[in-house]
Structure 1
Amino acid sequence: MEENITGSPNQGPDSKLDLLYDIDLDATIRFGTREMALHEVLELGPGTVLELDRHVNEPVDLVVGDRIVARGEVVVVSGNFALRVTEVATPQLRLESIRCFF
């Protein structure tokens, strides 16, 4: 008999979600964006400064799976950059980031 990896029909939706909790996902902090022509990219070198479309006082985005799941401010912790979360997306929007697993 085959085992159903999504759980038995008697289990609630939370138990199906439990299967996903140990999956590693890449998280990216996005400071801003900028459109560039290929020749501009090829001209980049050490010391080049790129101006982004975001003001220094605006929150940065925490992106998982091409979706913004939270926003916050950049801080330094023990000499490393970190994110202090100030806003969190709704649970539904966060789940859409990993929809490919459903």
Structure 2
Amino acid sequence: MDNVINANEAARAEAIGVLSDIELEATLQFGSREMPLREVLELGPGDVVELDRHVSEPVDLVIGDRIVARGEVVIVSGNFALRISEVAAPQLRLESIRCLF
């Protein structure tokens, strides 16, 4: 039985190795809000859309449709970046790519 488990683990590790160089799109999700179509159509320069998350709350790092980490927004070389404070379990992070295939 141990040989079967070890063979399965080896096959899984090999599959992960093959996939490890695939480029995935990472998105920072600051919050969300439902808006009626009317409001969307009326949007214009200078309008402000308020989201459901307080500025002090962590921001989500989303891959596919899964939250894989959370953290604080920082600036690095003039670009937004995320200082990670929480990371999802490895299995959940792997599940983030299922929707891409």
Please indicate the TM-score interval, normalised by the length of the shorter structure.
0.7 to 0.9
Are residues 11 and 62 of structure 1, via their aligned partners in 2, closer, same or farther at CA, if it must alter by over 3 Å?
Answer: closer
* Number of residue pairs matched by the alignment: 94
Q: Which residue of 2 is the match for residue 5 of structure 1?
A: none
The TM-score normalised by the length of structure 1 is: 0.85
What residue ranges of structure 1 are gaps of 5+ in the alignment? 1-8
Percent identity reads 71
Aligned-partner residue type, residue 18 of structure 2: L
What residue ranges of structure 2 are gaps of 5+ in the alignment? 1-6
Pairwise CA distance, 1:99:
2.1
Between the aligned partners of 2:65 and 2:9, the Cα distance in structure 1 is 30
Are residues 57 and 11 of structure 1, via their aligned partners in 2, closer, same or farther at CA, if it must alter by over 3 Å?
Answer: closer
Q: Does 1:61 align with 2:60?
A: yes
The TM-score normalised by the length of structure 2 is: 0.86
Q: Which residue of 1 is the match for residue 49 of structure 2?
A: 50
Between the aligned partners of 2:42 and 2:100, the Cα distance in structure 1 is 40
